Amino acid sequence: MNSTATTEKHAIARPPSSALSSKDKLELHYFMRLTRECDNAILKLYKQGKIVGGAYSGYGNEATAVASAYALEDHDYVFPLHRDLGAHLVKGQSLRNIFLQQLGRASSATRGRDGTGHYADPSLKIYGNVSHLGAMIPVAVGVALAAKMRKEDAVVMTYIGDGGSSVGEFHEGVNMAAVMKLPLVVIIENNQFAYSTPIAKQFAAQKLSDRAIGYGIPGVTIDGTNVTRVYDECSKAVERARSGEGPSLIETITMRMHGHSASDDASYVPKGMVEEWKKKDPIERFERILVNDRVLNETSKRQMDEKISAEIDDAVGFALESPFPEGADAAEGVYAP
């Protein structure tokens, strides 16, 4: 993980969650809280008409996004989806850069040509998604192959949704990675709906991780709202990949607590389903554990809230005051000469 893990190559395996320090646990909590409040700020800006296009929320997915990336080292690569803002933050992306990107400013990663998570930051080994999510699997596999050929000792972690796991690129990419024993960790974020299509109408298998058998790799299905379980399984998969044993498939079970995007009212979701999943809120679950273990108390929680609020206010204010790209430059770098 970016702030606590060593940056040396051939790093030792990350400790299990039971051996994490109080500092590590508080950091996991901080990144989950920061992710949610950052998402809330994005939705607020969208409703104010300051963000155009799509605005997506990872509410309910914070444990998966944060804990998975927390298992990586600085020199590892990550390919987050649009609900994996937490992975961007854990990998070291600044809030200012995130809001510059969301607000389409000239100094953003895409120079105002795009918003959301459609960007790459090679300095942090972050390679964001394109809208055709399944198409990113072969790209991640290619990076894993390049890392192996260069003897980088690096692992590539990529994500896909339940819907995206049914497209051809997913099969082709994972199969190639398995055959070549590439250092890849694939996380399927099963959040119950592919846009408006429920999982019962998407696949006949009991678990998406069962597909791993066909590729000849390990597969596991876990509670994606349990931050320590996600961290432990991802740490094991990362260590397996780093040691040359090849890829793993991890299915995390969560719930998309908002619609597909901010413009989707999610009227197709059965009544009561969201309320049931609220009882499994990943942040509240982890907070109860931290309080019980005397790692967190009301004072430290309030201090963290104030810190996060100030950080987001600074980033939003900075981005709003930053200029848009010049209209004459709109096509620069978009089309081949």
Active-site pick, 33, 111, 256, 258: 256
Is 132 an annotated catalytic residue?
Answer: no
Quick one: CA dihedral 78, 160, 230, 29, positive or negative? Answer: positive
Task: Determine whether 268 is an active site residue.
Answer: yes
List all residues 6 or more positions away from 27 whose beta carbon is below 8 Å from its beta carbon: 1, 3, 4, 70
| Res 54: pLDDT | 85
In the predicted model, is pLDDT for residue 2 greater than 50? no
Higher pLDDT, 116 or 319: 319
Binning pLDDT at 50, 70 and 90, where does residue 337 land?
A: confident
Give 4's pLDDT tier (boundaries 50, 70, 90). Answer: very low
Which is catalytic among the residues 75, 171, 229, 260?
Answer: 260
Q: Which pLDDT score, from 0 to 100, does residue 299 have?
A: 96
Name the 3-class secondary structure at 302. helix
**Active-site entry in 195, 268, 288, 302:** 268
- The size of the chain, in residues, is 337
Residue 89: name the closest of 118, 115, 68, 113 by CA.
68
Q: What is the CA radius of gyration of the chain?
A: 19
Residue 7: what pLDDT?
33
Q: Give me 233's structure tokens.
A: 């399984």
Q: How many CA within 13 A on the CB side of residue 212?
A: 19
Question: pLDDT, tens digit, for every residue of 120-171?
Answer: 999 999 998 888 888 999 999 999 999 999 999 999 999 999 999 999 999 9
Round to whole Å and give the CA distance between 90 and 71: 10
The four Cα atoms 327, 123, 234, 291 give a dihedral, to 10 degrees, of: -80
CATH architecture of the domain with range 20-258+270-319: 3-Layer(aba) Sandwich (3.40)
pLDDT of residue 82: 92
Q: What would the two tokens of residue 133 be?
A: 């999510």
Q: CA 302: distance to chain centroid? A: 26
Mean pLDDT over 51-72 rounds to 94
Whether residue 9 has pLDDT greater than 60:
no
Tokens linked to 114 = 């795009």
Residue 11 clears pLDDT 60, i.e. is over it: no
Identity of the residue numbered 246 = G
pLDDT (tens digit per residue) in 222-281:
999 999 999 999 999 999 999 999 999 999 999 999 989 999 999 999 989 999 999 999
